[in-house]
Amino acid sequence: MNSQRVLNITTTLITRIPCGGSQFPARMASSGAEKLLNMQNINPNVLTMEYAVRGPIVIRAVELEKELAKGVKKPFKNVIKANIGDAHAMGQKPITFIREVFLYKILSCLSNPSLMDKGIYADDVVDHAKTILGDCGGHSAGAYSQSVGVDIIRKHVADYIKRRDGGIPSDPENILLSGGASESIRNVLKLFINRKASKPAGVMIPIPQYPLYSATVEEYGLGQVGYYLDEDNGWALDVEELERALKEHECKFDVRVLCVINPGNPTGQVLSEKNIEEIIRFAYKHRLFLMADEVYQDNIYGEGCAFHSFKKVMCSMGEPYSKMELASFHSTSKGYMGECGMRGGYVEVMNMCPEVYTQFKKMISAKLCSTVLGQAVVDCVVNPPRKGDPSYDRWVSEKNAVLGSLKERAKLVQEAYSSVKGIECNPVQGAMYAFPKITLPPKAIEKAKAMGKPADVYYAMELLESTGICIVPGSGFGQRPGTYHFRTTILPQPAVMKDMLERFTAFHTKFIRENS
Amino acid sequence: MNSQRVLNITTTLITRIPCGGSQFPARMASSGAEKLLNMQNINPNVLTMEYAVRGPIVIRAVELEKELAKGVKKPFKNVIKANIGDAHAMGQKPITFIREVFLYKILSCLSNPSLMDKGIYADDVVDHAKTILGDCGGHSAGAYSQSVGVDIIRKHVADYIKRRDGGIPSDPENILLSGGASESIRNVLKLFINRKASKPAGVMIPIPQYPLYSATVEEYGLGQVGYYLDEDNGWALDVEELERALKEHECKFDVRVLCVINPGNPTGQVLSEKNIEEIIRFAYKHRLFLMADEVYQDNIYGEGCAFHSFKKVMCSMGEPYSKMELASFHSTSKGYMGECGMRGGYVEVMNMCPEVYTQFKKMISAKLCSTVLGQAVVDCVVNPPRKGDPSYDRWVSEKNAVLGSLKERAKLVQEAYSSVKGIECNPVQGAMYAFPKITLPPKAIEKAKAMGKPADVYYAMELLESTGICIVPGSGFGQRPGTYHFRTTILPQPAVMKDMLERFTAFHTKFIRENS
């Protein structure tokens, strides 16, 4: 066959062309050595999106771990991963109530319902599992749940929110369960994409921010409207700066969304009630849809700090504020639980236009549903023991121990970094991170420039290669031009933390000396 | 405060404007009665995407169920949901090996590792759980896994694929685990979005197709290039038709992807090896990235039919075909397992440009990871008992019983529908669906037109309201203009199936009579 012969000749000719650089017409056949999907024609937004929390530094850290395991000599014995809020991976013990008392029994009943008739588990466990299965198709966790989640679990979440907010009602119909909070955040942002609009929708996000936001905004082709947090003022969120940022970007984007992370990630500040009121007024004035990332709502350490949900503040302000559109996110991954791998999360949607909400539910239905077992983990987290329950005292003491230890480490980290010359670190009032500022000598900045790298990336890579400490450079979160930072978690256990801070101080002193 | 007063006046004025219709300037404050996110400014691709499997008919079916539960009188006693491939929801019993022998023990150990030291479970179960936990951060299922999935489970999947394909090697590095196959399919399609390109990338999908494809193509702003399956020829996939469809759409789209669903959904055909070879040659000739949706690979019923994976056929054809780019998808949701709610799935990616693959992994890292427990379900499904294992005989017999019963129902459904006047139904060679063609009388078509509905939607709604049978109209999957179909699953248990077919026949006869 003639065309086949032509193909074969072509094949021979182009065998050596790498996949990165096609100069061939789009419809010309190749050997496969020249790839159909290549770096020239891949989704450009995928190319430009960055998710630093799992970026190149972290990939190198994993390689180093593997090298160490193979016996390769390094100037350190182990890698310390302070890059991600992954509590269990950093040695935090799961809560006994969740794991040993409740969850595994519920999961066992969900995955093997025959256990429920065998008298193995207490009646309350069996009843609870039966209640969940009663809302599952065919009474099986193997059936798809509703796309919004299992009804009874949505109700339990609503009850939990109502207790959290001092009795302000929460409607289960407004709760949508998802595989972690990230999925919900991405789902809500997706509603604002409009390829046909003259200007993309602008999304206000803090600088520094959690890179899920910048990555998603970039992936979706939305407009990033960064507002700076005030580092000199403990990373405060200043409404004047919101006004400035909005004004600066209004010509380029149709600014429609305001994202607030409270407690802050990577910055650790906790917003006061008064500050939240101002932010709500700002959003009202400028007709911005509010997204409140409140996944660290249990992680409050600062003296005099307390968590106030946007919903509670909005409701207590009365109309018109109480009627504003808001999406608030929570997760099983953070808090004292740290159940990241279970992928449990939800969004509570307030005052959304009913027709839009119908469209939203239609949109997520194409993904069918989030994991029923992950939903069961959410159920467990929002159903902790109550006073009088046999597990109550132990649960309280473990919860307090985890949060107390995080509070100590928050203080330890801030004090340790602040004591190093050339480093400034704000107090960590909440969440799981510190975001210290490093003053880098001009020589280091020049070196990095010559290598085509941001100076903080160069610094972080040097730190990793010299000490095994894996942190994330500030450029992955955003920072004021000319300033350099890094994000470190406060999750390493106390002994590891001490080791980490010693390694860090020695490295930093040497780095500054060598580059001065 | 002056501006506040203005706001309040505005509030009073606009209270009655519904959220669907804003006539206010973009930055004018409102009471919240006029919504910020409304039907005019929501993502237009969300508005236009449709996912019929959970569309309006299904929503009405759920309402009817609730009405029945409340005691409302209906012309039927129960709703029969034949709309979705959700086996457990339709009464299929989970496989004993998966649920009672293996999975719940593994899940128990993963969620409560202290059980592993208590001598409760056999050594092989404990060893297996320890192997999985050994690849989890901090040895906890509560830690994020790698975004690509837990390494050892990726290896088990690769072993499974190698056994399936008669020894053709599978590299664990090419396996990416996800929360169901849908997520993987959406991830791969995302790589082809290019907002900056002059023409969107075209994606060839069958007509009729599983609406995940049309919904995702629409949501992503890609170009849908439909190729008709040959209904007169048992829904065969004809390469001439592929050529025609490609040619027709080339001016409008940069056609880059060919999706094939084998066994077919909703059409149930099983492709022969020869047919797959032709399709591969077509894709090669036209430089199309192949996506093979093979989630029904265990569901083969037709005499003389066998499942051939695209990968196996491609590899056995030798170069250049064996070097083509391919993504093949599988799931725990279908087959004989039907574990939909567990959300386990994966893609095997072949011959992808390494730099693109790195970008792909970066892209999915922003979603962190799929559920570790769902990954454990994948692990369980790809590790069935081997000959000689104590559970082997029972596993084989249950697997055969499920698939044998589905085979009988496939035949029963086809025969029953074919025997009704005005209905034609191709044999169901595989998967879980029949897609019969209905000849609707002109009067019914006129009635539907007057109501602004496609005629098959009108028919399906009438069927639901009269009989409680929930099927999905053919327009949700695509069909040749002027023809009408519906998709029904073959999942109702035999007694329910008999009941359904009786209700259906009575309805159809009456419907035709009344509309003739």
Per the listing, tokens 């929801």 go with B89
Instruction: Look at residue B3 and tell me whether its pLDDT is greater than 50.
Output: no
| Rounded-to-integer distance, Cα A175 and Cα A170, Å | 9
Q: Do A353 and B194 touch (CB under 8 A)?
A: no
3-class SS at B244? helix
Three-state DSSP at B324 gives: coil
Check if the beta carbon of residue A280 is closer than 8 Å to that of residue A317: yes
d(CA A515, CA A510): 8
Please state, in angstroms and rounded to a whole number, the distance separating the CA atoms of residues A47 and B362. 9
Nearest to A43 among B100, B182, B193 (CB): B193
Which residue in chain A is spatially nearest to B189 when comparing CA positions? A43
Per-residue confidence (pLDDT) for residue A228, from 0 to 100: 97
Q: β-pairing, A484-489 with A472-473?
A: antiparallel
Q: How many CB atoms lie within 10 A of CB B461?
A: 17
Q: Is B310 helix (H, G, I), strand (E, B) or coil?
A: helix
Stretches in chain A below the pLDDT threshold 70: 1-33
Q: How far, CA to CA in Å, does A187 sit from each of A85, A132, A200, A478, B54?
A: 22, 25, 17, 23, 18
**Best interface-test mutation with A: which of B93, B144, B198, B364 has the largest number of A CBs within 10 A?**
B144
What CA–CA distances, in Å, run from B15 to A354, B34, B209? 16, 7, 45
* CATH topology assigned to domain A133-382: Aspartate Aminotransferase; domain 2 (3.40.640)
User: Is A144 in contact with B84 (Cβ distance < 8 A)?
Assistant: yes
Q: Which of A245-254, B266-275, B336-345 has the least mean pLDDT?
A: B336-345
The 3-state secondary structure of A51-68, one letter per residue: CHHHCHHHHHHHHHHHHH
| pLDDT tens per residue, range B92-141 | 888 888 888 888 899 899 999 999 998 888 888 899 999 999 989 889 88
**For residue B53, pLDDT beyond 80:** no
Q: Which residues of B touch A345 (CB under 8 A)?
A: none
- Where in the sequence of chain B do the CATH 3.40.640.10 domains occur? 133-382
Question: What is the pLDDT at residue B124?
Answer: 85
Contact status of B32 with chain A (Cβ, < 8 Å)? yes
Cβ–Cβ < 8 Å for B329, B347:
yes
Closest Cβ–Cβ partner in B39, B86, B107 for A356: B39
Minimum-distance CB partner of A371 among B37, B87, B373 = B373
Collapsing DSSP to helix, strand or coil, B68 comes out as helix
Question: Strand pairing of B345-350 and B326-331?
Answer: antiparallel
Query: Three-state DSSP class for B7?
Result: helix
Contact residues, chain A, for B362 at CB < 8 Å: 46, 49-51, 54-55
For A403-439, how does the pLDDT look when each residue is reduced to its tens digit (9 = 90+)? Answer: 999 999 999 999 989 999 889 999 999 999 999 999 9
Q: Are the C-beta atoms of A184 and A347 separated by less than 8 Å? A: yes
The β-bridge partners of A485 are A437
A214: nearest CA partner in chain B = B366
Q: Which of residues 186-205 of A touch B (CB under 8 A)?
A: 186, 190-196
B457: left (phi over 0), alpha (psi -120 to 50) or beta: alpha
Enter the tokens of residue B253: 């789209």
Ranges assigned E (strand) in A338-439: 345-350, 423-424, 433-434, 437-438
Number of DSSP helices (H) and strands (E) in chain B, helices first: 18, 14
**Range(s) for CATH 3.90.1150.10 in chain B?**
52-79+397-515
Taking CB atoms and an 8 Å cutoff, what residues of chain B touch A476?
A: none
Closest residue of B to A373, CA-based? B342
Tell me the chain A residues in contact with residue B288 when contact means C-beta distances shorter than 8 Å: 36
Encoded amino acid at A90, one letter: M
Residue (of B133, B210, B161, B175) closest to B364 by Cα position: B175
Structure tokens, B36: 């910020």
**Closest CA relative to residue B490, chosen from B439, B432, B418:** B432
| pLDDT at residue A10, as a whole number | 35
Chain A, nearest residue to B327 by Cα: A37
- The per-residue pLDDT for B96 is 85
Confidence band for B345, pLDDT divided at 50, 70 and 90? very high
Secondary structure of residue B148 in the 3-state scheme: coil
How much is the pLDDT for B206?
97
pLDDT given at position A54: 78
Q: Indicate left, alpha or beta for B177 from its phi (over 0: left) and psi (-120 to 50: alpha).
A: beta
Pair B352, B360: CB distance under 8 Å: yes
| Residue B78 in this model has a pLDDT that exceeds 90 | yes
Please enumerate in sequence order all residues whose Cβ is within 8 A of that of B303, keeping only pairs 6 or more positions apart, or say none. none
User: What pLDDT does residue A486 have?
Assistant: 95
Task: List the alpha helices (DSSP H) in A91-225.
Answer: 96, 104-111, 123-134, 151-164, 181-190, 211-219
Q: CATH top-level class for A52-79+397-515? A: alpha beta
Chain B residue with CA closest to A26: the answer is B287
Is the CB of A68 inside 8 Å of chain B's CB atoms? no
What confidence tens digit (pLDDT) does each residue in B440-480 have?
999 999 999 999 999 999 999 999 999 999 999 999 999 99
Q: For the range B297-300, what are the long-range contacts, defined as Cβ-Cβ under 8 Å and sequence gap of 24 or more? A: B297/B164, B297/B263, B297/B330, B297/B335, B298/B334, B298/B335, B298/B336, B298/B403, B299/B263, B299/B334, B299/B335, B299/B336, B299/B403, B299/B406, B299/B430, B299/B431, B299/B432, B300/B263, B300/B270, B300/B429, B300/B430
Taking the Cβ of residue A351 and every Cβ of chain B, the question of whether any pair is shorter than 8 Å is answered with yes
DSSP SS3 for B387:
coil
The whole-angstrom distance between B486's CA and the closest CA on chain A is: 19
Global pTM value: 0.89
Closest CA to B261 of B306, B236, B292: B292
Q: Which of A26, A29, A186 sits opposite B285 (nearest CB)?
A: A29
Please say whether the dihedral angle defined by the alpha carbons of residues B499, B502, B505 and B511, taken in this order, is positive or negative: negative
Q: Does residue B265 have a pLDDT over 70?
A: yes
Mean pLDDT of chain B: 89
Predicted local confidence at residue B248, as pLDDT: 97
* 78-107 in chain A: CB under 8 A from chain B: 84, 86-92, 94, 99-100, 103-104, 107
B55 pLDDT band, cuts 50/70/90, is confident
Closest CA to A342 of B110, B98, B94, B103: B110
CB pairs under 8 A between A and B: 371
Tally of CA atoms within 13 A in the half-sphere of A397 that contains its CB: 6
Which residue from A minimizes the CA distance to B35? A353
How many other CB atoms are there within 10 angstroms of residue B273's CB atom?
Answer: 11
Which residue from B245, B252, B216 is spatially nearest to B230, judged by alpha carbons?
A: B245
Alpha carbon distance A13, B177 (integer Å) = 37
| CB nearest B366 (choices: A114, A212, A339) | A212
CB contact under 8 A, B88 and A137: yes
Q: For B193, which of A45, A94, A286 is closest by C-beta distance? A: A45
Query: What average pLDDT does this structure show over B485-503?
Result: 92
Model-level ipTM above the cut of 0.90 = no
Q: Compute the nearest-CA separation of A359 from chain B (Å).
A: 7
> Which residue spans within A319-432 are E strands per DSSP?
326-331, 345-350, 423-424
Q: pLDDT tens digit string along B187-240?
A: 999 999 988 888 999 999 999 999 899 999 998 999 999 999 999 999 999 999
Q: Please indicate whether, in this complex, the C-beta atoms of A192 and B37 are within 8 angstroms of each other.
A: yes
- CB-based contact A345:A183 (threshold 8 Å): yes
| Residue B493 near chain A (CB below 8 Å) | no
* A360 near B CB under 8 A: yes
Residues 6 or more apart in contact with residue B119 via CB below 8 angstroms: none
pLDDT of residue A167: 96
Chain B contact present for A381, CB below 8 A: no
A431: phi > 0 → left, psi -120 to 50 → alpha, else beta; which? left
Amino acid present at A344: G
Phi, psi of A329 (to 5 degrees): -115, 145
CB contact at 8 A, A260 and A310: yes
Work out whether strand A80-81 and strand A469-470 pair parallel, antiparallel, or are unpaired: parallel
